[in-house]
Each structure stands twice: as C-alpha cells, then as structure tokens.
Structure 1
C-alpha cells in the first residue's frame, strides 16, 4: 500500500509548460516558491516531486502512468481553477476522475480570481471542468472551495486528506476561519 502524504496539484496548462502565458502554471510555480522560501509556515509535500519526471515528449501512456503513481501517493489534490480550467478536456478531467473515483482523496478547489472569502461555491460552477461538476452533482467528490490565498491554502492542505474529508462537495470555510487567516470580506 502506498504511503499517502503528498499533495497533488492539478492545473490547466493550456498546452504549455512555460510561465507567463494563458495557463495556471504560474499559480503552481507560486505555490512551489512559497514552499521553497522556507521563512514562513507554508508547507506542501509536492507529489510531483516524488515520482520520476516525464518530458513533454513522453508518450501519453507513460505520462498517464506517472500521474496515477503520483495520485496514488497523495493525501489530497489541489485543483487550481483559473480562467480556462473549465475548457480543459485533457489531463485535468483525467486527474479529477482518478483522484475522486479511484483514490478517494479530497479536492481543494482554489480559485485564482478570488481573494475574498468564498461563501457560495455553487455560484462558481461556470469555472468548473465537467469532470468536477459531475462529481459535485453526484456528491461523490468531497471538495473545499477556497480563494487563492497562502494562509487558507496552507490550512486546507494540512487539514484535509483521505483520512479527513470536507463534509460535502460544496464545503467552505466559516467567516470565523477567514478572520483567523486575516481575511475579511
């Protein structure tokens, strides 16, 4: 049995691995920078660092196997939801399906365009990939919906796992929790 202590980060790369484009890779790179900084308390045991790297030229089957290995060793998934995530019809839907259906890990849905508390996750439905919407509708996915803010993300990563899931598909933090993170709104 796999030792499940990693955080798997999924994002719509929009066909590129280069920062600065129309992709959510910039947010993933920011998370890695927070982790590498070392002078604050942001911690993330990145599942992508635990398995062999694959190049863009790798065969689809090789990439698929590597992604599944990373998910198998993960306690949760951070799904970065940006402007183009809902249009992804490739790897993000595959990653969501495997995370929920096969490995039964919670999803931390992080919205890049939000810096204030999220109190009505259902209103964000237009941003969801179909694979997420289907699993939210069926209540199969256990999802916490949060803004892309370091303190909130750090708490969600440390709190939610395959052993401690959000209570439902549309879970969100209370106003009191947001105040403890220093976020009003």
Structure 2
C-alpha cells in the first residue's frame, strides 16, 4: 500500500459545475486556512498526491483517482452540509471505499454548526452509505463542527495506523468544546 500520510477531504459536489454552488466552497475554506501563513493549520492533503481530475472526467477515471488518493490517506474528513445528498453523488462511493476497503478513520465535519454534542441529531445530513456504516458500527468516526480548531485537532489525533475513534458516533466532550469557545 502507498505511503499513507495524507488527509482525504470528501464533500458533495451537489451535481454543480460551478464549485461556488456546491460544498466545494467548504473545502476551499480549508485550503485557505492552509495557505494563510498566519494560521497554524498544516496537514498533508491527499488531493495533492495524485493527478488532478475534473468533474467532467469519465466516471471510471474519477473512481480510479479516488482509490489512488484513498490508498495514500491516513484519515478522511467528510464535510456535510444541509444540502448533502443521501445518494447519487461520488461522496457515497468515497465513504464506502474509505470504510470498507481502506479502513480510514472518519472525521465528520458539519457546516453551520458551532458545536456537536449529539451526532444522531445530525443524521439527516448523513448519506445513506454513512448511515449504514454507522448503524452496523464499521465506521470509526468522530463528529465535529466545521471549525478550524476541531478539524485540525481531529487530523492530528486520528490516523489509520494510530489512534482511531472508538466507535461510529464519537464527539469531543462538552468541556473540550467549551475550552475552544464553541459553547
């Protein structure tokens, strides 16, 4: 297997050709945190480790690139918004492969949330494949708000070859989220 050092970011493109109209905008936010030299937000991005493909590429080309990137990944960050689809996006394929084939710990980041204390209360955002893997407990996941400190802490804490969430619905404690100023 490839050198597994990367962080794979997954989100729903929402069937949009314009990335500003899809959940890509949240991934772009993460990229801006990384580019901002005054912020301490560094990680190895799995998307930088494989050849770029466009959403107009053939489906099998996209899937091949996804598998290459997942094989090089140490964890997956799944960005979920209220618009995330239950089925019909490549996000479902990414989650399925991340859990079933590559055994990646999941960092499930919810946009528009200041804190996360009950993942189940946010289950309406879960794609069907994530719901299935949470319900059958094959997913090892921590659920967090889409906020810089929480994302960076989770990236630094969880990896395929290190510490993993101990179940499918882990959270940072109320006390930790209060310390971060989220509550």
- Structure 1 length-normalised TM: 0.93
The counterpart of 2:142, out of the listed 137, 144, 166, is 144
Is the 8 Å Cα contact of residues 13 and 25 (structure 1) preserved in structure 2? yes
Is the 8 Å Cα contact of residues 13 and 19 (structure 2) preserved in structure 1? no
Deviations 1:101-123 (A, max 9, x none): 000001100000201x2111111
For residue 44 of structure 1, report the CA deviation from its aligned partner.
2.4
The counterpart of 1:129, out of the listed 116, 127, 130, is 127
Q: Which residue of the partner structure matches residue 67 of structure 1?
A: 66
- Structure 2 length-normalised TM: 0.94
Is the 8 Å Cα contact of residues 12 and 88 (structure 1) preserved in structure 2? no
Is the 8 Å Cα contact of residues 74 and 159 (structure 2) preserved in structure 1? yes
Q: Which residue of the partner structure matches residue 157 of structure 1?
A: 155
Q: Which residue of the partner structure matches residue 3 of structure 1?
A: 3
Is the 8 Å Cα contact of residues 146 and 153 (structure 1) preserved in structure 2? yes
Moved over 6 A (4+): none
- What SS does the corresponding residue of 1:20 show, helix, strand or coil? helix
Distance between the aligned counterparts of 2:159 and 2:17, measured in 1?
28
For structure 1, list consecutive stretches of 5 or more residues without a partner in the other structure: none
Distance between the aligned counterparts of 2:121 and 2:179, measured in 1?
24
- What SS does the corresponding residue of 1:86 show, helix, strand or coil? coil
Cα RMSD for the two superposed structures:
1.3
1:1-185 mapped onto 2 (5 Å cutoff): 1-21=1-21, 23-115=22-114, 117-162=115-160, 163-183=162-182, 185=183
For residue 176 of structure 1, report the CA deviation from its aligned partner.
2.2
For residue 17 of structure 1, report the CA deviation from its aligned partner.
4.6
For structure 2, list consecutive stretches of 5 or more residues without a partner in the other structure: none
For residue 36 of structure 1, report the CA deviation from its aligned partner.
0.9
Is the 8 Å Cα contact of residues 86 and 126 (structure 1) preserved in structure 2? no
For residue 181 of structure 1, report the CA deviation from its aligned partner.
2.1
